[in-house]
Amino acid sequence: MKLDHETLSIIVDSELETQDPRKFESIAADQELRSKWARYHLIGDVLRDNLTDVAPAHIADGIRTEIEREPTIFIPQRRRRSWLKPITGLAIAASIASVAVIGVKRSDVDPALSDATVSAIPMQLPDDQIAKVLEEPITVSLDDINPALGTPHTKRRLNGYLVKFNEQRSSFGVPGVNPYVRIVGFESQ
Amino acid sequence: MSLVLTLMYESLVLNLNRFNLPRRPLVVSGVALILFLCADVAKATDSRTASKLMQSMRSATDTLNYNGIFIYQRGAQIDAMRIMHKFDGREERERLISLSGPRREVIRDGQRVTYFFSDDREVRIERTEPKDFLSVGLGDSIEYLTEIYTFSIAGEDRVAGRSATAINILPKKRNRYGYQLWIDDESKLLLKSVILNRRGEALEQVQFVELLVNEDLPDVLFTSEIEGAGFTQYTNSSPEPSIASVVDSSGWVVGWLPVGFKMRNHKLQTMVESDVPVSHMVYSDGLAMVSVFVEKLKARSLSIQGFSSMGAVNAFSRVAENHQITVVGEVPIPMVRKIASSVEHLTH
């Protein structure tokens, strides 16, 4: 199966380990997808401030070149109180955005998460490292996606649930993100 | 733990003696053991210090006056917001304002919460439950939480020009997210928080860039400048009563939850633009929270199925016996799905 860029973007976006090696074989086999994979991760890491000083210079050069090639476009965006994006509308850029509607199949094996896993912040960069990432078995399946996910009714409903969830969170005073912050910061589309 | 190690050490001594080995390695392993035990003690002290700090943080958040600007980031989306908080000894007042994008505000005055959404020309007034001021995460003891998470002091750092102590709260299993909290050394307010997935990547982050503590904040600062003329107003004046029973009247139950999750609340709620009551079951392990919603479907065409997410909050929806089931939680995607799949109707 040939993966399109949207699917790649979803895989990069998601925190999922999948169990279908075919998807990853198809990324590994495609030079363009492979470099996109690296680039998306790099963009994500830059945004999350995860890069250490050891990032190879050619990567930075590559980003600079890419940025220079990109036209600068300023678009006034109308923001909506929606936290949901339909799968069909997922742009490539969604690989660095937090909102994605995705279908997943994965088993729930839970080996203990060691401190080292979390403190060693991953840095996906050169091709030889990508190969290692691809070796992890992963399955992403889009079977679960309902086309109705993008409808106004669905968005309203899910937003309603999100508000109710956050209201409960606020009365418990659990540390982390102040629940009202999530309500004020509903996604832009 | 120590007992187990002592037993292990003794059996090691016995085994080595049996093989008539030189005693020197035993001294080495003895020293290693002592170091190991010290590390164990240090860990326990660390989690006590961390939990004490979190307790101070909670009380500082609720009882201090402060005024600050922070950024809220999830993925590529970044927003700036201002928060103002005041406590008069009895009640809290809080105002949260978006500084980027459309004007939105939340004003909390005791238990009354007003949401202003100028982009949707909507005002919502809700009454919340009283805050539980003294609890450490839902009143759970640190011993309970340390079975699920590892608490540690990550070190000293600087946020918003203030020195802070960073705490790591990492899940022992990968069915939870991790938290990193930066707590102001002086005021004990939370200066930065990050929710991490199991690869250590930040899913959601809040970070102050400016914070003034113990300022005099006049009441006028806690009224909205959004006029609200022509806005649609939704008012929910009384908090919905909780349902005492774990099984709701229609007999829906949650069959599976990650270890450590307990039911915290159960209510029948009404949603905006719908007259069908929604059964809302709230579960938490003391840090992470999961909501399970069950409602009767008016029409099959209105059903929702599949995943959705925002920052560290994930949702999974499915339909069973003409009911819409949606699980929303601050846990990894496979967990919301597994919980949603376990929701079933009890037939008597």
Q: How far is CA B24 from the centre of its chain?
A: 50
Cβ contacts of B312 within 8 Å, gap of 6 or more:
A177, B74, B177, B195, B203, B204, B330
- What residue in B sits closest to A15 (Cα-Cα)? B197
How far apart CA B197 and CA A105 sit, in angstroms, is 18
Residues B312 and B335: beta-carbon distance below 8 Å: no
In A55-137, where does DSSP find H-type helix?
A: 57-69, 115-119, 127-135
How far apart CA B328 and CA B333 sit, in angstroms, is 10
| pLDDT recorded at residue B146 | 84
Which stretches in chain B have pLDDT values below 50? 1-23, 132-138, 245-246
How far apart CA B219 and CA A37 sit, in angstroms, is 52
CA proximity to B58, closest of B127, B115, B139, B126: B139
Give bridge partners of residue B193 from the DSSP assignment: B181, B206
**Over pLDDT 70: what percentage of chain A?**
16
Residue B220 half-sphere exposure, CB side, CA atoms within 13 Å? 0
Burial class of B148 by CB neighbour count within 10 A (0 to 12, 13 to 18, 19+):
buried
Q: What is the pLDDT of residues B172-215, one digit of tens each?
A: 988 899 999 999 999 999 999 998 888 888 888 899 999 999 88
Q: For the whole model, what pTM was predicted?
A: 0.65
Pairwise pLDDT comparison (A103 vs B302), residue with the higher score: B302
How far apart CA B269 and CA B278 sit, in angstroms, is 5
How far apart CA B9 and CA B20 sit, in angstroms, is 16
Tell me, what's the ipTM?
A: 0.78
| pLDDT recorded at residue B124 | 80
Which residues of chain A make contact with B83, given a CB cutoff of 8 A? 178
| pLDDT recorded at residue B164 | 96
Which residues of chain A make contact with B202, given a CB cutoff of 8 A? 48, 50
Cβ A185–B72 below 8 Å, yes or no? yes
Q: Kindly report the nearest CA distance between residue B14 and chain A, in angstroms.
A: 32
| pLDDT recorded at residue A83 | 44
Cβ B310–A122 below 8 Å, yes or no? no
For chain A, the average pLDDT equals: 50
Domains delineated in chain B? 2-57 (no CATH), 59-232 (2.50.20.10), 240-345 (3.30.200.100)
| pLDDT recorded at residue B208 | 94
DSSP, collapsed to helix, strand or coil, labels residue B334 as helix
| pLDDT recorded at residue A91 | 24
Residues B213 and B105: beta-carbon distance below 8 Å: no
How many A/B residue pairs have CB atoms within 8 Å?
A: 265
Q: How far is CA B99 from the centre of its chain?
A: 24
How far apart CA A160 and CA A158 sit, in angstroms, is 5
Does B330 contact chain A (CB < 8 Å)?
A: yes
| pLDDT recorded at residue B197 | 86
Give bridge partners of residue B180 from the DSSP assignment: B168, B194
* Residue written as token pair 């997808």: A33
How far is it between the farthest Cα atoms of chain B? 91
Cβ A187–B77 below 8 Å, yes or no? yes
Residues B340 and B326: beta-carbon distance below 8 Å: yes
Specify which of A56-65, A124-133, B314-323 reaches the highest per-range mean pLDDT: B314-323
* Residue written as token pair 């690869």: B199
Domain limits, chain A: 5-145
Looking at residues A1-15, what average pLDDT do you find?
53
| pLDDT recorded at residue B255 | 92
Pairwise pLDDT comparison (A40 vs B98), residue with the higher score: B98
Residues B288 and B140: beta-carbon distance below 8 Å: no
Structural tokens at position B55: 């307790």
Cβ B132–A98 below 8 Å, yes or no? no
| pLDDT recorded at residue A90 | 25
Residues B62 and A172: beta-carbon distance below 8 Å: no
Cβ A177–B72 below 8 Å, yes or no? yes
